[in-house]
Structure 1
Amino acid sequence: MKADFLSRTWTSPNEVAVLGTGSALPGASVNTEELLCYAGLTGRSRTLAINVAERLGIKARHVGRSWNARTDRLYPGATNPELAAGAVRAALEEAGLRVQDLGYLIGHTATPAQPLPANIVLVADRLGYEGPHVELRQACTGFANALMIASGLLAHPNARPVAIVGSETGSVFLDLDTIEGQSGQIVNLVQMGDGAGAIILGPASSQGDRIRASWYGALGLDRGPGLQMRCGGSDRPGAATLGPLTFEHDFAAVLRGGPELFGAGAAASAAHGCAVSDAHWIIPHQASGKVGEQLAAHFGLPRERFFVNADRVGNTGSAAIWIALAALRMRRLAAGTRTVVLGAEATKYMFGGFVHETR
């Protein structure tokens, strides 16, 4: 069974260099009490939201919503393309590169500004980037698919750098007139955060940290989505033709699927020479502020090895892994530090990850 499972997991054989990472978060940090005041929750709904936030261990997040209407817009500077462009600029600055140095731009998001043209086209406009680009409409494992593409593009030793950016602005996918008593929407309100994270990659011949192995797999065949959003765009949330602008959760299915997905990622990492137990750091998908405690118990490892920042920025979906990696790298880790990334996505039960090593 294990061998068959691994045979269906796609692995990139190419090592790539990490030239820079960066992130962009909208506005000031918003604690849970402030958030509930903005949303106007009262009574049982407010109590439920407070309890959920405590259970998830999420104390604060950044939100781009202006809170002016029941179906709202993002305030200027906090739109999906603006945040994504800001994250790419931050990563380019660390890399010491200009946008003109990029050879390819890859974006991934589940909350684009609009369905068409692609969000990444709008990001390119804001960056002044004239080169090729592509977008993946994917949430929490978009980073892994983007890395598969980038690894292929960077196989040539003289390839130009590739930028990957994940971005989410899901705060506007809440109808304030119908949220009262809706447990799924209340969970989404307190759990999620807006933001963007980016990485600049170069061929293995470049200087810098290394991504030594990466993988992507799916376990969702013939399984219903654990999370879905049927319509909408984050810059036009109130358009009457778009239908209900909400995320739909199957909480029981997500709870069952989580350990399976993280276990699949750990098996893929071990198969490529880095057991989770051997890593100095583990970055799990930032589903909650307590995911580190839960996975530490699951894998029988010290809690201190798990890097989690969801307690401070919430679950930022597509952006979560890149935001976490950027934050961890800011600690100036010692040469030879090995980090295993374990991404998981409940939409159709996908997993992905990579091994990062400092130089």
Structure 2
Amino acid sequence: MTGLVARTIVTGTGSYLPERVVSNAELSETVDTTDEWIVERSGIRQRHIAAEGEFTSDLAVAAARAALKAAWREPSEIDLIIVATATPDQTFPATATTVQEKLGINDCVAFDVAAVCSGFLYALTVADAMLRAGTMRHALVIGAETFSRILDWEDRTTCVLFGDGAGAVVLERSEGNGDADDRGILAARLHADGRHNSLLYVDGGPSSTGTVGKVRMKGKEVFRHAVTNLASVMTETLEVAGCKAEDVAWVIPHQANLRILESTAKKLGLDIDQVVITVDRHANTSAASVPLALDTAVRDGRIKTGDLLLLEAMGGGFTWGAAALRW
């Protein structure tokens, strides 16, 4: 139809959290820490930990099935699967192909995206471009992590911060008028700066050590970069979308640290009550945290049709990004 532009809309969300919940109190029995210390520095009160034999693909499939059900779509209708993860089942093949097989999809495009905590935003942006190009119609974008497998459980500065989980969205190609009132993804902006590798990384890899490695982080430096970078990319994304901060109904952030969420909201002049917060219950689930938070707010009814959502995340690399999405 003349005058219309391609848009990517979210038609369903889903999530999955492993059954085992580990409270700060339980963690303090094996790690030199306390509930008060963890809550004061991060806002985290508990996290979910995958069971033995429960893989990233298992979490991803459970979240995907929930999203497909919400979207009233069958797996066979999916043309594209992108899994954002830093904890794949195997070095190769891509976890997305395992998800494809477990969903019973015989043929579709399937691959992983590795951008750590920003992975879901990176995957969402790639899927948006592919759908708008017209080569695909329906996509599954999943953020899934078993971060507990790469934690040093003797390092209290990192092991208390992370958890396992998965979140997914079903995307569909649609059409809009090309303005900020359209449904769907209005704008997305991504960044990376590899100079900061040493501030947040895993000290292993196939070609360097031949091992998986463990998470290492310099928390104070990461905090400083996160607040600055996230506020900047959120402002940039809103400008590209033709929107202002006062237009935002909900911020759906990466759930790294409650203080980061509070500081970022303040920089944008937004009320903390407009920020969807799940870090207290989920901890930092890396690429899964944004879709987990999104699904939480969709299912509890906070997000309404027409709401402007601002998704944001920053992770190791550094990588960071944001997306403006009209629900």
Structure 2, unaligned stretches of length 5 or more? 177-181
Task: Please list the CA deviations of residues 210-259 of structure 1 after superposition, one character each: whole Å capped at 9, or x if unmatched.
Answer: 323232332515344421113369xxxxxxx8447311112232122112
Instruction: Give the drift of 1:278.
Output: 2.2
Specify which of 82, 87, 92 is matched with residue 116 of structure 1: 92
**Structure 1 position 195 matched with structure 2 position 165:** yes
Instruction: Give the drift of 1:50.
Output: 4.8
Counterpart residue number, 1:335: 305
Comparing 349-358 and 19-28, the one that deviates more: 349-358
Counterpart residue number, 1:248: 216
Counterpart residue number, 1:26: 18
Measure, in 2, the Cα distance between the counterparts of 1:318 and 1:32. 22
Measure, in 1, the Cα distance between the counterparts of 2:151 and 2:185. 40
Counterpart residue number, 2:179: none
Counterpart residue number, 2:276: 307
**Structure 1 position 103 matched with structure 2 position 79:** yes
Counterpart residue number, 2:41: 55
TM-score, scaled relative to structure 2: 0.87
**Structure 1 position 317 matched with structure 2 position 304:** no
Structure 1, unaligned stretches of length 5 or more? 1-12, 65-73, 180-184, 234-240
Measure, in 1, the Cα distance between the counterparts of 2:47 and 2:77. 33
Measure, in 1, the Cα distance between the counterparts of 2:236 and 2:6. 15
Question: Cα distance 1:150–1:117, how it changes in 2: closer, same or farther (>3 A)?
Answer: same
Instruction: Give the drift of 1:157.
Output: 5.9
Question: Cα distance 1:353–1:317, how it changes in 2: closer, same or farther (>3 A)?
Answer: same
Measure, in 2, the Cα distance between the counterparts of 1:27 and 1:137. 26
Counterpart residue number, 1:238: none
Equivalence map 1:1-359=2 (5 Å) = 15-37=7-29, 40-41=30-31, 45-47=32-34, 50-64=36-50, 74-76=51-53, 78-130=54-106, 131-155=108-132, 159-176=136-153, 179=154, 185-205=155-175, 210-231=183-204, 242-243=210-211, 245-272=213-240, 273-332=242-301, 333-345=303-315, 347-358=316-327
Aligned length: 313
Question: Cα distance 1:137–1:301, how it changes in 2: closer, same or farther (>3 A)?
Answer: closer
Instruction: Give the drift of 1:315.
Output: 0.8
Comparing 309-318 and 212-221, the one that deviates more: 212-221
Measure, in 2, the Cα distance between the counterparts of 1:99 and 1:27. 25
Give the AA of the match of 1:29. Answer: V
Relative to its length, the structure with more strand (as a share) is 2
Measure, in 2, the Cα distance between the counterparts of 1:355 and 1:101. 26
Task: Please list the CA deviations of residues 268-314 of structure 1 after superposition, one character each: whole Å capped at 9, or x if unmatched.
Answer: 22322122332011122211234432223333322111111111111
State the secondary structure of the residue aligned to 1:115.
Answer: coil
State the secondary structure of the residue aligned to 1:340.
Answer: strand
Measure, in 1, the Cα distance between the counterparts of 2:135 and 2:212. 48
Measure, in 2, the Cα distance between the counterparts of 1:326 and 1:349. 26
Give the percent of matched residue pairs that are identical in Structure 1 and Structure 2.
28
Question: Cα distance 1:96–1:52, how it changes in 2: closer, same or farther (>3 A)?
Answer: same
TM-score, scaled relative to structure 1: 0.80
Comparing 90-99 and 274-283, the one that deviates more: 274-283
State the secondary structure of the residue aligned to 1:97.
Answer: coil
RMSD of aligned alpha carbons: 2.4
